[in-house]
Structure formats: C-alpha cells, structure tokens
Structure 1
C-alpha cells in the first residue's frame, strides 16, 4: 500500500540529502510527571533529536528492562494515561510541527480505547508512527493495516533471531523505518556491538529500501557513533530514562541527550 509521506519519511529524506544519520530518543510519557515529561520532550529537538519515541505507560511491559519498567510505573503512579499521552503529543505539536513522534507501547490500551478511535485521535494529536511490540505480523489486520490507512507509519522490530524465513514476513507491511533490536533480551540489558550489528543491518537492507535504525544497548556518545556508522541511525532509551530517574534537571537531561546526538551525527 502506498501512503502519503509522513513526517518520518520527510525526516529521513532530509537526513539522507544531508548525509547524516538519524538520532532517535525514547522517553516514557508522564515520567516522572506530566509537566516535566512535556518539558523534556520539548527540549529534545534542540538537543539534536531527529525522531522522538514516546512510550505509552503500561502495567505489563514485557519487552522492557527494569529501567523502562520503572519509568512506566512512575508515570502510571503520577496519573498518566493513554489520553494524556495523546494530549502530550498535541501540546508538543503547538511548538514543533516537524519533528516526528512515534508512539511505542503495547496493544492492550489501544484495544481498550478502540482501534478506530485511537488512530483518529493519534493522527489529530500529530503522531506519525507506531511501534507496538506485542502485535506480530500475523495480526496486521488488527492495527498495522488500519494505521497505515489512517496515515500513520507502522514500524516493526527485527531481532537477532529474525531468520531469513521470518524476515520477509516482518517487513511486509512495515513503513517509516525498521527498528533493529541489537541484543537478545529486554531493553537496557546488554551493550550493542558493531561487529555483530553490521552484518545484521546489511542482511535487513538486502530485503528492504527502508532505513534501518538500531536500538537496545546504546548508552554512550561513542556507542551511538559506532552504531550509527553501520546503520541509518540509532535509538537511545534506557540511558536517557536513567537520567530522568536520577531527578536530573531538564537542562542536564538535554545536555546528555545532545552528547548522544552529537555522537550519532558524527558517524
């Protein structure tokens, strides 16, 4: 299915034209509270973030390590909901209409809201794409295909265990970019290695023209540069969320993010 270009497509076209790699930052919506989380997100583009991944707090985040689990718990304890996550995206759009937002989470809150209502509300809030980690390609009719019909990219994860037989199935209805999970296991569990990631990125690229972004296990400017140099960009989540967990100021968090973005952009 051909869909109109999203902010994600536009961003990657701009980066490609400039010969730059993408830096993607993940934060949990509502962590540590609604107000500070919004201030952090608003500070990300100026810190060099090309795409924002906004986590949807959920009670049972099976793909996430302890850092992201605790972030979700903090957000939920502070009263964050799916509606407030959408409101946060809409508030961000009042000051920034170009930086792509990808909502990342699990299917249950979306299913509970109703797929059609969620997609209409997400589009209206200025969301550009979805990463829903517990919906495999076999369930594409549930959300993936309706999302693309609504003008949202549906971004799929590929992992070290996604073999040659499985990969084409994973890529079939994917759009925006492919998110390669560099390590087996949950977020924040291990460090990515360029030696192991390089061949996997090349393998995925042999099956798709979409950008391949690598995440999980990237936690320093040096690692961001190493991984971005062999992919189309890199994602950092747990290392940023750790800064939030430590109670750092928005300015300090933005400075840390900028060091990571500078690393990725120097690749």
Structure 2
C-alpha cells in the first residue's frame, strides 16, 4: 500500500500573501461588526489595501477593528489564482480580468480547503482502508483547481463538498474508533458559551458544533473531530488538541489560547495568544 502523503503544511495549501494580489482584501465582502470596522462590498478593495497588495495596518489589525482579517485563511487559494489561474497578471494591470478573478477565488478557496482535509485523512493510519478512495478524490479535486476561471465559476462546489464530506466522515469514524472512554457525540450541537472546562472530549464528534465563547479551558480534545466547528472566542487555554481531526488554522485564529495550549504540529500558534488570549 502506498505511503500516506505529506502533511498539508508541506504543500501549497498554506497562504502565501507575497504571491497573491490581495484577493481576500478585494473579492470578499464584509459587514461592520465585531469582526470588521466597516462595510465592504465584494469586488471593492479594502481601504487598507496598499498599492503593493499588502495590508497597510497588518501589524495592528485586531486593535483597528479588523479581527476577522486575522482569522481568515485561504488555504493557498490566493496565490493559486494569482500565479497559476491568471499567470501572474494582476487585476490592477488588467482591470478586465477582475470580475473573473474575484469570482474564481472563493471557489478555489473551497477546493483547497477540501484538499487540506483529504491530505489530513490520508495521513491517518486508521483510515488506510480508505486511502485509495481518498487518492482518487484528491486527484479529481486537484484537477478542478487546474481549470481556468470559467471552469471554476461553473463548478457545483456544494455537490463536490457533499461527496468529500461522506468520505471524511468515514475516515473520522475509523480514526476515533479506538479512543478511550466515552466518545461524546456533539455533531452540530449548540454549545455556545458552554461550560466545558477540563472536559474529557477525547475522540468526540464535534463536527459543525457551535463552540462560540465556550469554556474549553484545560479540555482534552485529543483526536476529536472538529471539522466545521465554530470556535470563535472559545477559551482553549491549556487545552490539548493534539491530533484533533481536521482542525484548521482559521479555527485556532478565531479562538483564545495560551502557551499551554497543545496544538497539532502542522498548525501555528496564533500571535494574539501570546498575551494570554485576553481578547
């Protein structure tokens, strides 16, 4: 049987802003809220976007009311659209390309997110029976990312996600089967503000759970499936997320943690955690 593929962090599924045309700062809309200081329409450049496609307030985004920007992760879709799909020609030099570029970007972002999940599933030894199917899914989606802007815009991404999700769920069940103790099922549960301090959630199913502002201080989340879980402002100080399934950088960025929070090696400790996650 072929060896599992490398971690997603070893591939082009990590954002590289230096090779992107500021697409997340232009293509996507946002509304004035706790995450964004102002309203912005899709296709309109953010007022903080500089001429070199860098953010003019990157070092102080959270203090300036743009916390949402520090959470977002494109999974490398920005540089793929910029350097591959559009061959390194940016929307400022060729304004006519802007509509197609901005429409293709969110589609590519979803495809790259799926590639991240599939790569992680293929690294699970317990999911070995699924590796052939996972490889086929990987190849199919990788081929989709190589299409031109028109092909990307025409994709039924919801259908693609649905098919991959069933495969990822099978991988999750296999990986969590041997977790010790009771395996809690909180799939899609409303756990907003829940008191889960020091909770034993090893191997739990937290797929799509609402963990907004939940107290998970010191919780054991080893091997828990957290795909799609909303972790905004969740307290992860001292929590153990070692081997958490399908955990993304965006989820960590949205949460609060500290130096004692244990995270998978493929992910980075968010900078705002250094001060004890006071925000």
Same fold (TM over 0.5): no
More strand by share: 1
More helix by share: 1
TM norm structure 2: 0.29
TM norm structure 1: 0.30
Question: Larger RCO: Structure 1 or Structure 2 (Cα < 8 Å, ≥ 6 residues apart)?
Answer: 1
